Structures are given as structure tokens and as C-alpha cells.
Amino acid sequence: MANKIKICADSTCDLSPELVQKYDIEIIPMPVYLDDQLHYDMVDITPDDIYKRFYATKQLPKTAAINNAVFEEVWSKWLDQGYDIINFDISSEMSSVYSCARTQALEHEGRVFTPDSRNLSTGIGLSILKAAELAAQGMSAAEITEYIESYVKRVDVSFVLNYIDFLWKGGRCSGVAALGANVLKIKPVIEVIDGSMQSTKKLRGAFSKAMVDYIEYKLKDRTDLDYERIFVTHSGIDKELEDLAVATVKRLQPEFKEVLVTQAGCCISSHCGPDCIGVLFATKE
């Protein structure tokens, strides 16, 4: 009898509705507080809502962890049907949500597995889709979790920012750094290293040029890539820039079987603002 496995994930994975449906993923929306009102990521609040509020008031929303009771409510309906569960959350270094999930999973030892994604956005999405594919091949939840704990070390996550105001306002960089970046038209590249975000490179010029330079920095002449798929994930950009990003990826690395475009939800967008884009992929074993 085939293993019955349900994959759950918090909404920071930024998978598109089409991918969620295709791979049958249960998305648990992250709580978002705007003007002290509770909302749920991409359920009753969108990044556009956050941007409009920020430009009007300079106030950012506050995100909160999914609590143990919510995890239990979601998981129990699948456990009662005989499913084992693999649950994905944003990196343990970035939020307490992973700790909440892991603690609750102890109540269902051997049935609920919580590999640490060590990532954000579709960096988590890459692990989710890999897990779904392994489940379809008949691997057990325990075997998949063991594989994913190794796979996450191969996931490469980064993005380039057009505006630094959101990171600054959210306490991610100093006011001096923000002023300097804006005056000098610096477009910082942020990479996830060992589960945390780090600024690794500074690009200059128009965002369209910086975006292409960034994609070339990440992909040009590389021979260590897993060509199964790559995500082009953004926080809201013009269609022309989106098309340019996809074309640049295909020019530099035409071997990718899938180039998947997704838009980030509220949790990621509230920290990076509009006109942020990343290429997210895995390397070979």
C-alpha cells in the first residue's frame, strides 16, 4: 500500500496557486497585523495593500508566527485520514514559526515531520516540490525528510532590491546605509547564507541593468546547477522587467526544464518592498 503523505507549508513559501493545486499542498497563511488589525497572508491582505499603507503612513505591518493550535487544527484533519505530514516553514533563523511547528510535531512523533527549510520564499518552494515528487515516487515521510535535510544545503536563494526603505524601516539596515544606497543608486544583493539573510554585493545604475547584472552574477558560466527548475520570484514588478528576467535566465542557462515565475506574498514583500526580484535554484548533488 502506497504511503499517504500530505505536505503542508506556511505562506512564506510563495508558491503560485497553480503550483499549490498541481502538487496538492496545504498552505497555512501567516498572520499579518496592519493598523493593529489581524489579517492572513494572501487571504484578506495583499502586498499592494501593504505598499499603499507604507507610502501613506511609513508604517509597515507586523508579522506573527503561526501558533501551535493552528498547526494542530490543520494537521489533525489529515492525520485522522491516515496521512503522515511533512511541514515546511521559513528558516528557523528568521522566525519562531519553525519552533512552534517542531514543538507541536512532538505530539505526533513518527507522523509529523518538520525539516528546517533554512530558507525563505521559493527557496522553501524548491524543497516542497522536491518532497512532493519524492512522495509520488513512494518514499516514506521519514525518508523524504532525511533527503530534504540534505537537499536544503544545495538550495541557492538571493534577490536584488530596488528600494532599501522597507529593509531599513523594518530594522534590517541602518539609516545611514539606507540614505547612502538611495543617493548612490545602489541596488543591494541579499543572499541567504546558513539560514540567514546577508548583504553580499552592491550593484549600481538603473534597476533594469542591476537586475540583469545580478542574474548574470548568479548564473553566468555555472556548471553546478540542478536543471530541474528555477524560480524567478518578485515582489511586484512591471511585466517588462519580469519578461527581461526570464529571458536573461534562459539566455544564460537554457538547460533549465522549468522557469517558474511567482510573486511573493505579504510576509516577504513587507520586508523587501516592490521591485525586488530573485532567482532561486538548487545545485547538483
Q: CATH code at 184?
A: 3.30.1180.10
User: Over its length of 285 residues, how does the chain's per-residue pLDDT go in tens digits?
Assistant: 457 999 999 999 999 999 999 999 999 999 999 988 999 999 999 999 999 998 898 888 888 899 999 999 999 999 999 999 999 999 999 999 999 999 999 999 999 999 999 999 999 999 999 999 999 999 999 999 999 999 999 999 999 999 877 776 665 544 436 545 554 678 989 899 999 888 888 898 899 999 999 999 999 999 999 999 999 999 999 999 999 999 999 999 999 999 999 999 999 999 888 999 999 999 998
- Please indicate, yes or no, if residue 51 is contained in any of the structural domains: no
Predicted structure pTM score: 0.94
User: How many domains does the chain divide into?
Assistant: 2
226 and 141, same domain (yes or no): no
Residue the block writes with cell 515521510: 141
- Please indicate, yes or no, if residue 52 is contained in any of the structural domains: no
Within 8 A by CB and 6+ apart from 52, the residues are none
**Does the CA dihedral 279-153-266-187 come out positive or negative?**
negative
**Does the CA dihedral 91-146-8-230 come out positive or negative?**
positive
Note the pLDDT of residue 285: 86
167 and 268, same domain (yes or no): yes
E-assigned strands of 11-135?
A: 26-28, 31-34, 37-40, 62-63, 84-88, 112-113
**Does the CA dihedral 205-208-209-210 come out positive or negative?**
positive
Q: Which amino acid is at 209?
A: K
Within 8 A by CB and 6+ apart from 70, the residues are 28
